[in-house]
Structure 1
């Protein structure tokens, strides 16, 4: 899921059936990332899976970084490296760690907290007004995470996986604010490419040290390649294309569909059940995010 600010809006069509279809497609692709992680996590391990994912995603987006090279200074590179840790390396690893221990839907649902965490960080760290609506949504969202963490699936407690997902979402929210503050003078597509490349550099040594000794099955390789190419590289490029056409706020509605597709794909392809606690937590978290984005009028 993306955490960088928006490019200026190029055009905003009043009614465009393609926009709805593209938003659904993006939600489906991002939701699929939790399925891919769930399949490959045990064979790869967190760091090797994340580094491989980042490598493939970076290769897809490198042309966007090259295109913006004239506007990038040395100070930007250090910032991209640091923010690559917060926006990709750390949250991707937390989600991968959780995928080893809990159903794919757990991470997908926890991921929905990103929007609320971004608002919380903006309020606490940058003095932005949060408003009554977002404050209520934050409280509701945290209640949803508590319910998600307290649930059990097939007799296993998923608390740690749910908390890892919430921590990853907090990283996304923190990174979004820091990127807006420190990298606003670069095209967002270049920021996304640079942060992914920085995250790849950071995770590569850890991947090399923890690379599994046993051969990795072809199915897991296919999932990680799809995770990098489809759910990271192409999805980011697709997302920014939407931002340029319809604006950031409308494009962000794709994230509302991530938990729905994450749970649906896991049920369809892995046979993972939607438990009552997951359904309740998902409804509360998703509802709180949508509520926080509604206009007061």
Structure 2
């Protein structure tokens, strides 16, 4: 992996890490379904505008069902599940559970015959989980049925990302990243139209919630999904999903800056392990790749 790819993964992680605190703001006000629907509609809008500016064409109609399946796995299901979990558990817990996505990505790629399940990648997953546990020093949360269900929801969302990454990789080989990303979010908005519409009467359209939705839809969904598809065209799917290990690192940082959550030097070992895990899964070697761009 080239240095520029590794740096792009870090940038994606930084932005996606900020999405979990935003979910804690927007989901209680709007509800899981409406938040997901608005987020996807905004992402579809910005991607469609970019397609018009860049004069790119929409994929043929026959390709839409496969892209709709990709949308269900990597957008609709994860958005709704993480939104619901944000009503119950802290953002840090969701970020930690999201870090299981690379493991599901490695397993999914192996099951579908796309990549070999190597010992190095499995070791990277194990080290990444250990690093996340050290990095996010979460306080005790009472083990209740809602908490357990929320944890399962986050794990299911991560599985969607992981297994969907293989389909995402295939989509990048068949379509340009921008049109494919646009169709994915148009399909997601359509799939969420009815449940989102039914949630409108109970929603509280507060200023904070709408700002959070705008950031989630325009940046962490639309633009970042497009960038991640472009990146996935150049690196293995399992390497691309390894960015999930770094998301808790930035989740902690944004929580400390914007929510006043504690950030201590005790988190440093976790940061080192997280970066080591990402390098193992991606195959990134800063010494071998020196001078590459």
Q: Give the TM bin, normalised by the shorter chain.
A: 0.7 to 0.9
Q: Distance in 1 between matches of 2:80 and 2:268?
A: 25
Q: CA deviation at 1:268?
A: 2.7
Corresponding position: 1:109 with 2:96 = yes
> Of the candidates 22, 25, 28, which is equivalent to residue 42 of structure 1?
28
More displaced 10-residue stretch of structure 1: 196-205 or 158-167: 158-167
Q: Distance in 1 between matches of 2:189 and 2:29?
A: 20
Could you tell me which residue of structure 2 aligns to residue 84 of structure 1? 71
Q: CA deviation at 1:34?
A: 1.0
Q: Distance in 2 between matches of 1:24 and 1:38?
A: 23
Q: Distance in 2 between matches of 1:290 and 1:110?
A: 20
Q: How do residues 242-281 of structure 1 correspond to structure 2 at under 5 angstroms?
A: 247-248=234-235, 255-273=244-262
> Of the candidates 27, 34, 42, which is equivalent to residue 13 of structure 2?
27
Q: Distance in 2 between matches of 1:283 and 1:105?
A: 18
The two structures have a TM-score, normalised by structure 2, of: 0.76
Aligned in 2, Cα 1:100/1:212: closer, same or farther, shift over 3 Å?
A: farther
> Does the aligned pair in 2 maintain the 1:64–1:193 contact within 8 Å?
no
Q: CA deviation at 1:54?
A: 0.6
Deviations 1:22-58 (A, max 9, x none): 6654432221111111111111111100000111111
Q: Distance in 1 between matches of 2:191 and 2:75?
A: 10
Deviations 1:228-283 (A, max 9, x none): 01211232344456678xx44697775553221112212332234579xx999988
> Does the aligned pair in 2 maintain the 1:114–1:173 contact within 8 Å?
yes
Deviations 1:140-174 (A, max 9, x none): 667789x79xx974543444433322221111121
> Does the aligned pair in 2 maintain the 1:65–1:191 contact within 8 Å?
no
Could you tell me which residue of structure 1 aligns to residue 195 of structure 2? 206
The two structures have a TM-score, normalised by structure 1, of: 0.75
Could you tell me which residue of structure 2 aligns to residue 163 of structure 1? 152
Q: Distance in 1 between matches of 2:197 and 2:256?
A: 33
Q: Distance in 1 between matches of 2:78 and 2:167?
A: 15
Deviations 1:115-146 (A, max 9, x none): 2211111112336321111233445667789x
Q: CA deviation at 1:69?
A: 2.5
Could you tell me which residue of structure 2 aligns to residue 62 of structure 1? 48
Q: Distance in 2 between matches of 1:205 and 1:62?
A: 22
Q: Distance in 2 between matches of 1:173 and 1:85?
A: 13
Unmatched 5+ stretches in structure 2:
289-293
Q: Distance in 1 between matches of 2:30 and 2:257?
A: 23
Q: Distance in 2 between matches of 1:207 and 1:287?
A: 40
More displaced 10-residue stretch of structure 1: 30-39 or 155-164: 155-164
